[in-house]
Structure 1
Amino acid sequence: MRRSTPPSVRRSPVTSALLATIMMGTFALTACASDDPADDGTLTVWSLENQTDRVQAAQAVADRFTAKSGVKVKIVATDENQFTQLITSAAAAGDLPDVVGALPLSAVWQLSANDILDTAAAESVVKDLGADTFSDRALDLTRNDGKQLAVPSDAWAQLLVYRKDLFAAAGLPAPDSYEAIARAAQKLNTGGTAGITLATVANDAFTAQSVEFLGLGNGCELVDDKGTVTLNSKPCVETFGLYGDLARKYSVQGAQDVDSTRATYFAGKAAMVVWSSFILDEMAGLRNDAKPNCPQCQADPAFLAKNSGFVTAVKGPSGSEPAGFGEITSWSIMDGAAGSAKDFVTFMMDEGYADWLGVAPEGKMPARTGTKDSPQKFTEAWNGLTAGVDTKKPLGEIYPADVMEALRTSPDTIRRWGITQGQGKLVGATLGELPVPKAINALATGQVDAAGACKQAADAVESIKTSLK
């Protein structure tokens, strides 16, 4: 919906400097919805599930809401890495969407800091559906001072995927510790095969997610319980040190991102890759646009799925126990949204929920397990969903039961930097400036050592924290 009065929004120095350019991008994005959605009462819904097949699937679910309510909905694909700039300029122009879907935790907290969320609407949706039908952890991560910031929808888990056939041949254990990861990367980094491929680009949240995945199990945290920035602590220097060594010595040369890391593993040119659970359908050969092309994959497109192992939690030398990283994504109702926005989100979390999870079940584990009358309704529905695009198949027919169980329970076990220490607004503010990816890129390219990278990241986060006061 169009907005007649722009809500207030706190801009970072970066977004302010780029505002003119950014606004052009936002106008282009919103133009995709319609010439003027407000003219016919259309709800504008941005979705960070921006792949074409997922947008089409989401639109099909939204069309069911339209058939029921008479309210038109336009799903608009939105790039996660551009979200901060796009939402800032949309707010400044008074042109916010009604709803944002598939929104990660950092972005939810960023919108909260900018006071552009309708938290009362989110609270109402959760209350009407039944708070006890949601994962407690998912609700905790999307609440602040008793306010429900957004409606938690689903989760994905970060994975360390490894070639279990190569590990077995080399007599290596599963890479579930810093020592095991480093040893395997060194030993398997031979004959045109990299020991590991992992993200190093400076402008991608995927890099930060990969570092956090390894850091959590080593006691490396963004802040401590008092809110003090701790990225320059000994555990973080160890985490950054491992990451830097892996990137410089045993990974593919050059800046690596979400696409290149997957492509390298799919080509059979890396023994390990850090990626999200969204890789699972692709690795099984169920998508023609992202098929594995390793030598053995020509005869068997599911070769990598059959010969890969999965680590969901890693332990470092300073960690007390293994820990893993995951993401809760939510429906956020924006300030000033049409009244039907709340009805739409309720529909997507109830009547349309199983179909929404079915958009990409490998990366959409339900944060709402069921209804008051049927407590496991959505968990059971997820178990039977088929993954893939060009070929459809239940994930349970491809992957072991322990992998499926780890995915199913991920909404209840997720840990996150800063949010669990009550610093969600700081986490949201870092989304626009990506201090950790920038430091990792400097580390991977040899500009700084591990201690220097930690100091660079810590100083940047400290500066962001000061700007929020």
Structure 2
Amino acid sequence: MAHLHTPLFAASVATVAAIALLAGCTSGGDTTEERQAAAGSVTFWTPQTTPERLAAQEAVAAAFTEETGIEVEVVPMAGADQDQALVTGAASGDVPDVILHASAQTAAWNSQGLLDTEAAAATVDTLGADTFNQHALEAVTVGGEVAAVPSDGWSHLIVYRADLFEQAGVEVPGSVAELAAAATTIKEQLGVTGLAFGTQAGSASATEGIQSLFQSAGCELVDDGEVTIDSDACVDAAEHFLELRNSSVAGDFDATSARAAYLNGDAAMLLFSTHILDELAGLDEANPVTCPECGASPTFLADNSEFITVLDEDHPAQYGAVLSYGIPTGANTAAAQAYIEYVLSTGYVDTLAVATEGRIPLRNGTADNPTEFIEAWGQLGIGAAQEKTTAELYGDEFVSQMADGINSIFLWGMGTDDAAIAGLVFSQGVLSGQIEQLYNGTSAAEVTAAMRRAVEDVQASL
């Protein structure tokens, strides 16, 4: 796979030292086989399972092996399959050495004693805790201890048509309340959907939409064990959510139809993940741009779209995903640490290039260059052919905006003892199951009270 980026970054001194120790480099005459035997090997589970992504990860692993003599087996395994496989492996004493996984899994696995938190914390210390996205570190901190090593993720952003904003005479919103007002004005004046986003009651898309907008409005699901989804801030958030939902001229959306509405030119704004970046520029054949102007000008949407990467500066809480490297209890710890240090330094840019739109660095840079990796991300190609970079398409300022957005990543309960209940509420779609009442005329106060009771039922089951 051809990537648009600068040469690989130099490994940290600590990583090189660890590798040397692992490889047993006591003499220059050791054979490759002898070094590998001394170092052991690494089994790496990854949820990045498409053929192209798997091949890119295998290339990074091969480069690590060439440098260290430590063999790496890259095993594709979806997140849903990792949970049972790890439990089964732990029972038999056969666990992988490194697992790339979601933050909700970090909390669950740690509670079961399945993660070597000391090894993870030591890896973060070696790389430098202050070089990481601090919110990402919070997401993998359980009981005051770092339980995994943040790698990369994606965040929600709002794409908006600058030309339609000008036509409607609306300003760029800086809060959920302003977003709702802008969406309503656009619908009334231009007859197009104000904001396209997931609103179908009971769906995963609505679950994401609710959490994304509620938390950006300063609403907390639970605070130190007390369910607070019916607070004044949450009632206001529910009212604005309804207004935003009603800004649609095409009924309720799921993620797929919301994206299509924006690509068709039928919506002035879209709440979506960073995966929209290549599609917006017409670089994804599976999701082509189809707006009326796009036939004559394929880059029309990219040229006329701008981004809000942090909706509310007073409540910088962008919904997103955090992927981290976990080291299971019983793993080949030293080799696992060396591998993680490698893929977060020397091999980091190639690792991000596996899927640039959805793999934004959670390690911003190094001690010597604090923005090294986020800047390098902006020079990576996006889309299947990876012919254009985000900086080329959207400008250097956008890369800085994305740094602000990913550094504001937030998930309810993360880094606290409330992470378990928040994860269950999300995975079970508890809030989206209640939202239809809001659509049917029930007051926001009554709906959030019903949400509270539903969350308390989940809490009681823990």
Q: TM-score, normalised by structure 2?
A: 0.79
Query: Alpha-carbon deviations, 1:441-469, whole Å to 9, x = none?
Result: x347639553343233322322222333x
User: Identity of aligned pairs, percent?
Assistant: 33
User: Which residue does 1:221 correspond to in 2?
Assistant: 220
Change (3 A) 1:276 1:110: same
Task: State how 1:349-388 maps to structure 2 within 5 Å.
Answer: 349-372=344-367, 375-388=370-383
Give the CA deviation at 1:88: 4.2
The CA distance in 1 between the partners of 2:329 and 2:205, in whole Å, is 28
Give the CA deviation at 1:408: 1.7
Residues 64, 342 of structure 2: 8 Å contact kept: yes
The CA distance in 1 between the partners of 2:50 and 2:317, in whole Å, is 29
Give the greater-gyration-radius structure (CA).
2
The CA distance in 2 between the partners of 1:243 and 1:372, in whole Å, is 41
Query: Alpha-carbon deviations, 1:308-333, whole Å to 9, x = none?
Result: 12223335xxx965654344321222
Change (3 A) 1:105 1:281: same
Cα RMSD after superposing both structures: 3.1
Residues 193, 247 of structure 2: 8 Å contact kept: no
The CA distance in 2 between the partners of 1:213 and 1:401, in whole Å, is 26
The CA distance in 2 between the partners of 1:187 and 1:43, in whole Å, is 54
Residues 97, 337 of structure 1: 8 Å contact kept: yes
Residues 182, 194 of structure 2: 8 Å contact kept: yes
- Alignment match of 1:461 (pick from 443, 455, 458): 455
Give the CA deviation at 1:168: 0.8
- Alignment match of 1:267 (pick from 257, 264, 268): 264
Give the CA deviation at 1:304: 1.1
Three-state SS of the structure 1 residue aligned to 2:434 is: helix
Give the CA deviation at 1:207: 3.3
Three-state SS of the structure 1 residue aligned to 2:340 is: helix
User: Which residue does 1:163 correspond to in 2?
Assistant: 161
| Structure 1 alignment gaps of length 5 or more | 1-39
User: Which residue does 1:295 correspond to in 2?
Assistant: 292
Give the CA deviation at 1:64: 2.8
The CA distance in 1 between the partners of 2:77 and 2:458, in whole Å, is 29
The CA distance in 1 between the partners of 2:439 and 2:356, in whole Å, is 36
Task: State how 1:41-80 maps to structure 2 within 5 Å.
Answer: 43-47=43-47, 49-50=48-49, 53-68=52-67, 69-76=69-76, 78=78
User: Which residue does 1:208 correspond to in 2?
Assistant: 207
2:329 pairs with 1:331: no
Three-state SS of the structure 2 residue aligned to 1:358 is: helix
The CA distance in 2 between the partners of 1:457 and 1:382, in whole Å, is 39
Change (3 A) 1:242 1:139: same
Residues 113, 425 of structure 1: 8 Å contact kept: no
Residues 282, 291 of structure 1: 8 Å contact kept: yes
Letter in 2 for 1:405: S
User: Which residue does 1:277 correspond to in 2?
Assistant: 274
User: Which residue does 2:388 correspond to in 1?
Assistant: 393
Change (3 A) 1:301 1:78: farther
Task: State how 1:15-164 maps to structure 2 within 5 Å.
Answer: 43-47=43-47, 49-50=48-49, 53-68=52-67, 69-76=69-76, 78=78, 83=80, 86-94=81-89, 98-101=97-100, 103-164=101-162
2:230 pairs with 1:235: no
Query: Alpha-carbon deviations, 1:327-355, whole Å to 9, x = none?
Result: 43212223333444433322221221111
Three-state SS of the structure 2 residue aligned to 1:438 is: coil
The CA distance in 2 between the partners of 1:332 and 1:251, in whole Å, is 45
The CA distance in 2 between the partners of 1:240 and 1:342, in whole Å, is 44
Three-state SS of the structure 2 residue aligned to 1:199 is: coil
Residues 42, 70 of structure 2: 8 Å contact kept: no
| Structure 2 alignment gaps of length 5 or more | 1-39
Query: Alpha-carbon deviations, 1:397-421, whole Å to 9, x = none?
Result: 2214443212123343334322265
Residues 200, 444 of structure 1: 8 Å contact kept: no
Query: Alpha-carbon deviations, 1:97-146, whole Å to 9, x = none?
Result: 54332x33333223323332221221232233233432334323322234
Residues 155, 329 of structure 1: 8 Å contact kept: yes
Give the CA deviation at 1:160: 1.5
Three-state SS of the structure 2 residue aligned to 1:407 is: helix
The CA distance in 1 between the partners of 2:405 and 2:154, in whole Å, is 7
- Number of residue equivalences: 416
Q: TM-score, normalised by structure 1?
A: 0.78
The CA distance in 1 between the partners of 2:404 and 2:124, in whole Å, is 20
Residues 153, 360 of structure 2: 8 Å contact kept: yes
Query: Alpha-carbon deviations, 1:15-57, whole Å to 9, x = none?
Result: xxxxxxxxxxxxxxxxxxxxxxxxx97724132x455543443
The CA distance in 1 between the partners of 2:316 and 2:123, in whole Å, is 35
